[in-house]
Amino acid sequence: MLTAPRTLAPFRNEPIRDFSDPADRRSLEEALVRVRATLGRRWPLVIDGVKVAGPRTIPSINPARPDEVVGEVEEASPEQVSQALDAATDAFASWKTTSAEQRADFLLRAAARIRETKDDWNALLVLEVGKPWIEADADTAEAIDFLEFYAREALRMANPPPLTPIAGEKNWLTYLPLGVGVVLPPWNFAFAIMAGMTSAAVVTGNTAILKPSPDAAVIAARFVDLMHELGLPPGVINFVPGDGVAVGERLVTDPRTRFVSFTGSKGVGLRINELAAKTPPGQRWIKRVIAEMGGKDAIVVADDADLDAAVAGVVAAAYGFSGQKCSACSRAIVDQAVYGAFLEKLVPAVEALAVGDPAVYGNSVGPVINQKAVEKITGYVEVGKGEGRLVAGGSRAPGEGYFISPTVFADVAPGARIAQEEIFGPVLAVIEARDYDHALEIANGTEFGLTGAVFSASEERLRRAQDEFFVGNLYLNRKCTGALVGGQPFGGFNMSGTDSKAGGYDYLLLFTQGKSISRKVAAHAADDLAAGMD
């Protein structure tokens, strides 16, 4: 039976602050003091609404100050993984029948609470994953946006448009939840993507087991606590941190798991897809995998581009959050006619970036996430020294944390490793193109297809990019990062994932299955029955 739609104001994106207002700066400074006073806390598992200890803990550390422990998060044992699956399975029986109104209300109330305490969440993002202030505020704003948008989408899906009339029948379509889902979010958008993936699963009537990245587990624990403070029933969200193999693969392969929602690297995404494709005894479904993976994203700079705008877009997209975004610009493909002029403007702009502890206002480039990332990125820098001309950066930056100087390699060949492989750090390859045709050819010349951008004054060239630049999110005369929920549904092609289009009108369908229902009725009763279904 269809439900009466709830009336809500149209969706609007949460504003993102630049902290030019002294009151905004003071608010975040005070929040940093408050949150720092709580560091080192132990965060338990949450299974069936009960907080329980695991056999060991995982430390989450501040990447800008590696001796500062943000929190100790319990790691689940194999037995606790099984208990969480049982709890989610049991809770699904009642949660799937909970009305869309009630499910959406949890998301709306969570969004309101987060909005009221925005800077406390921002401060935790600064300390746990090293986000500069504006990046942290954007992450929190996006978390609010996902909650608000998916709540509205759940209500819309509960009242689908009528089907084509058929004489003598009443036909309607309803969307059913899938079942128990495993949610595997990344550390780089520690709040937004984690909250978005989890809320999408539960607002559509599924139950979830949330296994966050060990580098961003504290903020996930706080979000789970918030949902239970709001009265979310036990077992709807279970918090089960742990190792990717011992916990993650066990969750993916269990026959009780109905779907896996993943955001992360290509290698892990392909492994999940492979494991999920196997059907263990007792499994009655084909598991669904929703995967958003990596990118090797390019910004094309045509010979008629506004070079100042292009440089600003490349710098923002390449070095925002130290390049640790799947959407980050890691290739600048520049027409040979403006190649030299572009580099002359780019290098000083990169060298002017302030690198340092993101807790300090004004530092625009913070640390990379951990020592393993340092080793990977500096390894690619050494590779780059043999594949291109180093014109900026190329070394560790001062500070006790995991700081790497924003790095630029010029004269890179399109097939070079640093032009093909995802580095996930502040390293940019600048590639010279013969002309616009060649630039598009280079842009499409990787296994990925997530984001891309073109700077050009030509309408014809921009139209060609719309048709020929093969990415899930294309931006024209702007940077290739910063997709907004509702306005720029996000997800890519090829090895960038399943094109899930998070934050779009299609996304919640991925967490449901459609059921078509037909009822034969007498011709004279069809109108009465139709009226009763409205």
**Alpha carbons within 13 A on the beta-carbon side of 323:** 31
Find the catalytic residue in 326, 422, 432, 480: 326
Q: Return the SS3 of 218.
A: helix
At how many degrees (to 10) do helices 100-116 and 118-129 cross?
80
**Alpha carbons within 13 A on the beta-carbon side of 97:** 4
At how many degrees (to 10) do helices 22-36 and 118-129 cross?
60
Q: Is 148 a catalytic residue?
A: no
404's CB contacts (< 8 A; 6+ apart) are 322, 367, 368, 374, 377, 378, 381, 393, 395, 396, 397, 425, 426
Pairing of strands 427-433, 448-449: unpaired
Residue found under tokens 């705008």: 309
Q: Round to whole Å and give the CA distance between 242 and 83.
A: 14
Q: Provide the CA 113 distance to its chain's centre, in angstroms.
A: 21
Residues β-bridged to residue 390? 409
At how many degrees (to 10) do helices 339-351 and 307-319 cross?
50
Do 148 and 11 meet the contact criterion of CB atoms below 8 Å apart? Answer: yes
Q: Is 326 a catalytic residue?
A: yes
Measured CA angle at 136 (ends 133, 137), to 5 deg:
85
Torsion angle (degrees, nearest 10) of CA 470, 476, 478, 480: -10
- Its sign, for the CA torsion 364, 370, 375, 376, is negative
Q: Round to whole Å and give the CA distance between 421 and 294.
A: 10
Find the catalytic residue in 292, 329, 432, 480: 292
DSSP annotation string for 84-140: HHHHHHHHHHHHTTS-HHHHHHHHHHHHHHHHHTHHHHHHHHHHHH---HHHHHHHH
Residue found under tokens 């690297």: 265
List residues with catalytic annotation.
292, 326
